[in-house]
Structure 1
Amino acid sequence: MPISRRTLALAAPALACALTLTACGSGGDSGGGSSASGKIEGDISFQTWNLRAGFKDYFEGLVKEFEKQNPGVKVKWLDQPAENYADKLSADAGAGTLPDVVNLSPDLAYPLAKAGVLMNMDKEPATSKFKGEYTPEGWKGTAMPGLDGSYAFPWYLNTGPLFYNKDLFKKAGLDPEKPPKTFDDLFTDANKMAKESGGKIATLASTPAIEDMGRYGVKLMNADSTEFTYNEPKGVEFLTKYKELYDSGGLDAQALTNTPEKSGQKFLEQKVAMNPGSALDLSNFKKNAPSLYKNLGITDAPNNNGKPNMYVMGLAVNNQSKHKAAAIAFAHFVTNKQNQESFGHKVAVFPSTKGSLEEPYWTKEDGTDEGRVRVASAKMLKGAVNYTPVVLSDEMKTILKNEVAKALQGKKSPKQALDEAVAQSNKLLKQN
């Protein structure tokens, strides 16, 4: 039951191949300028990812306030569309024109960090001193495997609630106030619901993704993230259970081809008992499916680790910036407690600064659909982790999805399917 990876930046392809950074060098402290003097001065550029349309006034206000506090700095705000954002990062890095401060997700940061283009926040004294201002989950969320450090100030976090239909649970003889918390609970409840409904009601509408494996407890990669390992026995066990679920009717018959929109529609039509969603879905249910709305439960996706899934966005600093002190100061300014909380009040994301999620806005419902989802989601972020490996490309995700489909259809055994997915993905990993 994968949840959309990004809320604001829309889906963009991951960097699919290694960067050729002939113009960028190998990193280090070669920025010169304000880095050597420590003075916060100079002209810097700040790039966001598909945010201008919705938040133009907010970011222009941030820039104006920072420049007021730091009269020696001028900030040029750039905003790139979601489409081909990864390609734009790659091209700019290769040409030595990457902006001083860049908004990116961990998977997009990894190739740049590996190539020495991004500043290691743990190694640079000017950035590591701020580590205590952020939640451990947020700071760890920008860590790069095998590179010994985090490579961006954590910015906004997100997690997705799982909606469930209490009425369908009750009709199947399940406790509507006790949704499944572990995968064992999920498989048991889903099989019972399929049996009690005569195969008419499935519990889930989509095939599992790699983050679902992570929540099940599968070891996804080796220690230094140089090889995928999700074909281990626990991974085979996981896919075998999903195959059994598919055969019993606990997984929707169209799960192999369902888009998130189709899955959401099946949930709205009360043909599926559980589905990830957002506050926007609640408003839709209230208008178009009032009987569903009044019986709607909100929970976290089942997991065997006690740690929900989390998505993180960060602000990275170009290691080759000519004005590092200014770039660091601005990246920290945008991601400080006050500004993160302000941004979190404008859009359904969550601040990564310590203490923010203890504020009433994220702990007390206000009677609105948005408040109901916001409070439920905020509770899930404590101890949450990003299960999706940062080296997993979109091509690798497609490979896994296709092999999972073959296993569910019985064209391959779960072990054969996962072995093939791992072999293909590891081959791509070595090529990169």
Structure 2
Amino acid sequence: MRRHSRRTPAATAALAASALLLSACGAPDGGGDSDSAAGKVEGQVTFQTWNLKARFQKYFDGVIAEFEKKYPGTKVKWIDQPAEGYPQKLSADAAAGTLPDVVNVSPDLAYPLAKAGLALDIGAAAGKYRGEYLDGAWRSQQMPGLSGVYAFPWYLNTGPMFYNKDLFQKAGLDPAKPPTTYDRLFADALTMARKSDRRIAMLAGAPSIEDFGRYGVRLMDARGREFTFNEPKGVELLTHYRQLYAAGALDAQALTAVAESAGRKFQQQSVAMNPGSALDLENFKRDAPGLYKNIGITDAVNNTGKANMYVQGLMVNADSKVKPAAVAFAHFVTDRRHQMAFAEQVAVFPSTKGSLDDPYFTKEDGTDATRVRVAAAKSLKTAVNYTPVVLSDQMKTVLRNAVARALQGKQSPQEALDSAVAECNRLLKTG
């Protein structure tokens, strides 16, 4: 189970290659129409998840038994794949024509399959269910260049920002008013570095595509066919980060930081803000009590008013021989009742309308888990998935390298982003 997918370049290339090989026999719009899922709900449905069986077998066994009881002519065969190598497994199944009937995917994994005509257009085949899901979650299953929706939205996640109240107070910043906009973040970060003689950085990581999105940068054109993050607003963001880096307001190791190393910096109290989850709070309480007593929780900084949404979905194989049953099962797993039951077992959030208004997501009881859960659920109501589904790991590396050159002064922010956009667009066109 992943908050969001992490793919190796090789896996990305393999999945994209399969899509290209198969696109000749797939429907131009990704396959599926209103008649394709009509018919009696019967037959054996193969259902594939992504690293869920070890912890949640009892839950899924119960859902499957309930579905088979509701539809006596059905059987569900559950297959759970390990997280490692999951994209390669999808690629191999796509090439061999052995994709399961219902497949757990993130939007970036669904995209090449939809292009190849292997993902059923849920919007056409089961559009009557559209009103059951949050608007942002439903839109996250749309694919650039295609007209449909290619998976039922399933569980969501997002992360609040943790901040160190003690470090804020020592820098003369109000610990009760953490930054909520980028302009305020940049100003507070410079103050933090100056007041601490560059010993304390506000942030541990360089900006990613998600930061560009939350800053309000237009990441792609309206058709989703070209990247545009080198436009003036993107240059403006990178220019600010360059200033932070030069002033010591961005950690010295930000160019190579990953989530784990950034988390360690925050735990060591050399960084004042960092994204996290309820699990991190438990770790702080156990391993860093000095930090834990000064933890503040706030929404991730943004200029758009919308948090970032990580989303998983259930895709239906467009070539399934039991399409009516596959659609019925995918909807069954992702309906409001079952999503709510799943969310109560693990720190994820339902994508169904109204679920986030449940007291489970709105009432705090003084525990760490509810503090984070309530904050995250509130932000998810209007959250969006900022990362374009067409942004491959190779493209992410291109952007990361360009950002590093700009922060180090090897290129201007404009030159760095121009080169990154040109290379990402080249990769997008070549598949």
The normalised TM-score by structure 2 is 0.94
Whether the 8 Å contact between 2:31 and 2:121 is mirrored in structure 1 is no
Q: Which residue of 1 aligns with 2:63?
A: 62
Q: Which residue of 2 aligns with 1:229?
A: 228
Q: Which residue of 2 aligns with 1:15?
A: 12
1:157 alignment partner, SS class: strand
Q: Say if 1:406 and 1:31 are closer, same or farther in 2 by CA, change over 3 A.
A: same
Q: Matched residues in 1 for 2:118 and 2:106: separation?
A: 15
Whether the 8 Å contact between 1:315 and 1:331 is mirrored in structure 2 is yes
Q: Which runs of 5+ in 1 are unaligned?
A: 1-5
Q: Say if 1:227 and 1:23 are closer, same or farther in 2 by CA, change over 3 A.
A: closer
Q: Matched residues in 2 for 1:80 and 1:8: separation?
A: 16
Q: Which residue of 2 aligns with 1:105?
A: 106
2:314 alignment partner, SS class: strand
- CA positional deviation for 1:25: 3.5
Q: Say if 1:35 and 1:183 are closer, same or farther in 2 by CA, change over 3 A.
A: closer
Richer in helix (by share): 2
1:380-419 equivalences under 5 Å are 380-419=379-418
1:129 alignment partner, SS class: helix
Q: Say if 1:430 and 1:10 are closer, same or farther in 2 by CA, change over 3 A.
A: closer
Q: Which residue of 1 aligns with 2:295?
A: 296
Whether the 8 Å contact between 2:101 and 2:316 is mirrored in structure 1 is yes
1:21-420 equivalences under 5 Å are 21=22, 25-26=26-27, 28-29=31-32, 35=37, 38-124=39-125, 127-420=126-419
Q: Say if 1:323 and 1:422 are closer, same or farther in 2 by CA, change over 3 A.
A: same
- CA positional deviation for 1:55: 1.1
Q: Say if 1:358 and 1:209 are closer, same or farther in 2 by CA, change over 3 A.
A: same
Q: Which runs of 5+ in 2 are unaligned?
A: none
Aligned alpha-carbon RMSD (Å): 1.8
Q: Which whole-Å deviations, capped at 9, do the CAs of 1:366-400 have from their partners, x for residues lacking one?
A: 22211111111111112110000000000110111
Give the share of equivalent positions with the same residue, in percent: 65
Farther-moved stretch of structure 1 (265-274 vs 11-20): 11-20
Whether the 8 Å contact between 2:108 and 2:390 is mirrored in structure 1 is yes
- CA positional deviation for 1:35: 4.1
The normalised TM-score by structure 1 is 0.94
Q: Matched residues in 1 for 2:37 and 2:298: separation?
A: 47
- CA positional deviation for 1:259: 2.4
- CA positional deviation for 1:309: 0.6
1:283 alignment partner, SS class: helix
Q: Matched residues in 2 for 1:321 and 1:283: separation?
A: 43
2:122 alignment partner, SS class: coil
Q: Which whole-Å deviations, capped at 9, do the CAs of 1:120-175 have from their partners, x for residues lacking one?
A: 12222xx1101111111211121112212211110001001110011111111111
Whether the 8 Å contact between 1:9 and 1:82 is mirrored in structure 2 is no
Q: Matched residues in 1 for 2:180 and 2:23: separation?
A: 50
Size of the aligned set, in residue pairs, is 423
- CA positional deviation for 1:217: 0.9
**What one-letter code is carried by the residue in structure 2 that aligns with 1:40?**
V
- CA positional deviation for 1:280: 1.4
- CA positional deviation for 1:115: 1.6
**What one-letter code is carried by the residue in structure 2 that aligns with 1:245?**
L
- CA positional deviation for 1:8: 5.2
Q: Matched residues in 2 for 1:335 and 1:83: separation?
A: 24
Q: Matched residues in 2 for 1:383 and 1:406: separation?
A: 34
**What one-letter code is carried by the residue in structure 2 that aligns with 1:15?**
T
- CA positional deviation for 1:209: 0.2
- CA positional deviation for 1:89: 1.3
- CA positional deviation for 1:243: 0.2
Q: Matched residues in 2 for 1:31 and 1:54: separation?
A: 36
2:256 alignment partner, SS class: coil
**What one-letter code is carried by the residue in structure 1 that aligns with 2:218?**
K
**What one-letter code is carried by the residue in structure 1 that aligns with 2:70?**
Q
